């Protein structure tokens, strides 16, 4: 079992990185991702990396990754992260806001633009897909695509509005650049259709709680079922459950 997205007090988590890993070990997790939010001016990364390295010595039977979660900024693939990422294993790119050609826009701005028809749903989706694929290609470390499409319900759109062409572009970028995709328990995304496209292309799909408190680490209700559905199809998954 794994939990590849765990926040700590280095950013907006409640519990320390060390306390999180004690819980992860107690719950039998074999692989974890210590992931905290960064911005371009974050100055605590050396301490974060050093802490992760120390915890690897304390928990030699767990694979512990050091990750940073950075916001997509624009459709050119810019992310809000420090230039120096020494010791970081993976960059988690996240759709906290809509990346547009001129910078990020908050969900309420996008909703207004959709209502007044200054943007169409297709334009919003293509901006998000373009930014994600560009960021995968441009990143200075291997990427994990964090809670893909979590922005959509915040702006009144649905994942099933993502076209096959859009999805194909995302899958190709992940394949070409060795990206992983997470199934995020907290946001319950992406769904089985999107996950299936990545699984079928051989893209690693990992399980994450996106936990901000230690009690939530490794506690799943949705993500493993989604992954089983992506691998087997809904009918086969239902038969196994029965």
Q: Kindly write down the DSSP assignment for every residue of 40-91, as one continuous string.
A: TT---HHHHHHHHHHHHHH-TTSEEEEEEEEEB-BTT--BS--S--TT--EE
Q: With 60 as the cut, is the pLDDT of residue 241 above it?
A: no
The CATH homologous superfamily of the domain defined by 2-241 = Metal-dependent hydrolases (3.20.20.140)
Position 233 scores a pLDDT of: 75
Q: How far apart are CA 17 and CA 49, in angstroms?
A: 11
The tokens for 149 are: 């499409």
- Identify the DSSP state of 172: H
How many Cβ atoms sit within 10 Å of the Cβ of residue 159? Answer: 18
To 10 degrees, what angle do helices 223-232 and 192-200 make? 60
Cα–Cα distances (Å) from 48 to 41, 42, 43, 149, in that order, read 15, 11, 10, 28
Coil, helix or strand at residue 232: helix
pLDDT (0 to 100) of residue 234: 61
Mean pLDDT for all residues in the chain: 95
In tens, the pLDDT along 3-53 reads 999 999 999 999 999 999 999 999 999 999 999 999 999 999 999 999 999
Closest CA relative to residue 135, chosen from 64, 127, 216? 127
Got the DSSP string for 186-213?
A: TTTBS-HHHHHHHHHTT--EEEE--BSS
2, two tokens? 């794994």
Sketch the domain layout of the chain as residue ranges: 2-241
pTM: 0.95
Tell the residue number behind the tokens 């759109």, with chain if given. Answer: 157
Mean pLDDT of 209-236: 91
Say yes or no to pLDDT of 215 above 60: yes
- Give the pLDDT band of residue 239 (cuts 50, 70, 90): very low
Dihedral-angle region of residue 97 (phi above 0 means left; psi in -120 to 50 means alpha; beta otherwise): beta
**CA separation for the pair 180, 65 (Å, rounded):** 13
């Amino acid at each position: 079992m794994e939990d590849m997205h765990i926040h700590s007090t280095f950013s907006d988590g409640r519990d320390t990185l060390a306390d999180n890993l004690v819980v992860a070990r107690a719950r039998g997790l074999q692989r974890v991702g210590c992931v905290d939010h960064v911005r371009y001016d974050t100055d605590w990364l050396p301490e974060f990396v050093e802490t992760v390295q120390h915890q690897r010595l304390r928990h030699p039977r767990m694979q512990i990754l050091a990750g940073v979660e950075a916001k997509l900024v624009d459709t050119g693939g810019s992310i809000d992260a420090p230039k120096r990422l020494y010791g970081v294993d993976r960059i988690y790119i996240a759709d906290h806001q809509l990346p547009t050609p001129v910078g990020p826009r908050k969900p309420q701005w996008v909703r207004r633009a959709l209502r007044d028809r200054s943007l169409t749903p297709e334009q919003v989706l293509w901006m998000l897909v373009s930014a994600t694929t560009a960021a995968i290609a441009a990143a200075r470390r291997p990427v994990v695509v964090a809670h893909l499409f979590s922005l959509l319900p915040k702006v009144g759109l649905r994942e099933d509005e993502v076209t096959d062409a859009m999805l194909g572009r995302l899958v190709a970028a992940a394949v070409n650049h060795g990206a992983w995709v997470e199934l995020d328990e907290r946001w319950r995304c992406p769904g089985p259709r999107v996950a299936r496209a990545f699984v079928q292309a051989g893209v690693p799909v990992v399980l994450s709680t996106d936990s901000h408190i230690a009690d939530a680490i490794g506690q799943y209700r949705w993500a493993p079922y989604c992954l089983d559905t992506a691998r087997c199809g809904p009918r086969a998954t239902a038969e196994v459950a029965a």
